[in-house]
Amino acid sequence: MATNTSQSTGDYIPASDPLSTSLDFIEELSKSGIVLSPIKPTELMIKRGASAAGVTPKQAQAVYFAMIALGE
């Protein structure tokens, strides 16, 4: 939980915390077209990818791993 720090005027500003800093960093990455994804996709991710591409879940998973350069 972020704490507050006071300025000389008596106003309170939120103190920075590691989570907020991390979220700000991730937001900046996304603005430049970079997204973060899990190393291992969830079953739902595989299922939806397979459905969208008209391939088997195994093929969808292989494509996912190829896209993040892990391969099986």
* Three-state secondary-structure class, residue 40: coil
| CA R_g for the chain | 20
What is the average pLDDT across 3-24?
67
What's 39's DSSP letter? S
Amino acid 46 reads I
Res 3 pLDDT > 50: no
Res 5 pLDDT > 60: no
What's 37's DSSP letter? -
Q: What is the pLDDT of residues 16-59, one digit of tens each?
A: 788 888 989 999 999 999 988 899 999 999 999 999 999 999 99
